Amino acid sequence: MNRHVHFTLLALAIGAFAIGTTEFSPMGLLPNIANDLGVSIPSAGLLITGYALGVMIGAPIMTLWFGGYARRNALILLMAIFTIGNLIAAFAPSYMSLMGARLITSLNHGAFFGIGSVVAASVVPANKQASAVASMFMGLTIANIGGVPLATWVGQNIGWRMSFLAISALGLITMLALWKALPVGSVGQKPNIKMELKVLTRLPVILALLTTVFGASAMFTLYTYIAPSLVEFTHASPSFITMMLVLIGIGFSLGNHFGGKFADVSMNKTLIGFLGLLIGLMVIFPILAQTQLGAAIGLVLWGAAAFAIVPPLQMRVMSVAREASGLASSVNIGAFNLGNAIGAAAGGAVLSLGLNYAAVSMIGALLAAIGLVLVFIQIKLTTKPNTQYQQCSQT
């Protein structure tokens, strides 16, 4: 890759890092926010749920809205919304105003990753596009290793408002990086909303989006309840749980890298291989986690398998919806967030039935298995000769 390509992907990765940090950092600050604003911790937890809902709703709307802008301008404006949302959060006088700030911030999320994925894929040859998309998502995985823990530390030691203020500074840095790295570009054509929405109704696109939903559901079934799972399996201490979260983040980064590399060779084989690995790991995780070493090894591998499916899933949706790749890419980010919510709900439902945390892991494996079945269905459809699906085939 030449220097221009590296700078472009770096600017996109900085934006992904900022978005990942603001999405997940409130998880570690719920007690601080709840105490300061006089609400319960479950109510404070709705700030995360509200953000996810904002991503799902905002992704298609914002992508279509900014469709007529040059991509550099669109991405900078989206990060301006991100920055303003975090500034409002930093000075929010009440719980409802903070919720409103979170909803404003979330509006940029899906469209940024959607348009950013198209930009990343456009600056490299076709056989490097999945790796380029993975380079942008690397910022999201690094946020889980460094950004979220750092924002949590700032929030716990200086104040949660300073955490949001620092994240807004990341937004400004991203805007400057995008302005410097991306070409001016021409003004985009006004999107044909009816046509683009129609593209999303194609069976290959629906199947690809559903695969994303079930893949993300499998991941968040266990990830949401990883702390109590470790307590049950290994009697883990808080410091050990923190260490395991860092290892999961490292696994995410490794999986994102190799998932992109392998997807450049074959999207189908990458999805089959890593979904199969994810299923196996979730089945045996309760056994591996009987020891701390086994838990550590299992979670690094699990994190890698869980995030290795992200680049090929993003590329698959873009490949089967070429006429509306930006919209489909953004909606796919919304599908990830829908999967997050479903996974958390599935794990909670299992526990509500009185089952143990081993059962939570098994339900995650089942959701991953459904995703794997959907991949095989897509392969069958796209390899049928003389059908309308053959043009969408990507192996």
- Give per-residue pLDDT as tens, 354-372: 888 899 899 999 999 999 9
Q: Would you say 54 and 100 are in contact if contact means Cβ atoms under 8 Å apart?
A: no
Q: What angle do CA 35, 36, 38 make, to 5 degrees?
A: 65
Domain residue spans of the chain: 1-183, 192-383
Sequence-separated (6 or more) residues with CB below 8 Å from residue 103: 50, 51, 53, 54, 85
pLDDT at 188 over 60: no
Nearest to 229 by CA among 357, 376, 90: 357
Q: What is the DSSP string of 316-354?
A: HHHHHTGGGHHHHHHHHHHHHHHHHHHHHHHHHHHHHTT
What are 140's two structure tokens?
A: 């999201």
What are 149's two structure tokens?
A: 């823990």
Q: What angle do CA 106, 112, 118 make, to 5 degrees?
A: 155
- Asked which of 16-20, 145-149, 285-289, 389-393 is least confident by mean pLDDT, the reply is 389-393
Q: Render pLDDT for 92-148 as a digit per residue (tens, 0 to 9).
A: 999 999 999 999 998 888 888 888 888 888 888 877 887 888 888 788 788 877 887
Q: Render pLDDT for 230-258 as a digit per residue (tens, 0 to 9).
A: 888 988 887 788 788 788 888 988 998 89
CA distances to 9, 19, 331, 334, 386 from 45, rounded to whole Å, are 33, 18, 24, 19, 51
Global pTM reads: 0.76
Q: What is the DSSP string of 351-389?
A: HHTT--HHHHHHHHHHHHHHHHHHHHHHHHHHTSTTSTT
**Looking at per-residue confidence, does 394 or 150 come out higher?**
150
Whole-number CA gyration radius for the chain: 20
Question: Would you say the CATH fold of 192-383 matches that of 1-183?
Answer: yes
**Looking at per-residue confidence, does 126 or 54 come out higher?**
54
Q: What angle do CA 306, 310, 312 make, to 5 degrees?
A: 125
User: So what's the pLDDT on residue 28?
Assistant: 67
192-383 under CATH 3.40.50.10860, yes or no: no
1-183 under CATH 3.40.640.10, yes or no: no
Q: Render pLDDT for 5-22 as a digit per residue (tens, 0 to 9).
A: 888 888 999 999 999 888
Mean pLDDT of 374-395: 65
pLDDT at 57 over 50: yes
What is the separation, in whole angstroms, between the first and last Cα of the chain?
A: 24
Burial (CB count <10 Å: 0-12, 13-18, 19+), residue 60: buried
pLDDT band at 191 (very low <50, low <70, confident <90, very high): low
Q: Would you say 99 and 88 are in contact if contact means Cβ atoms under 8 Å apart?
A: no
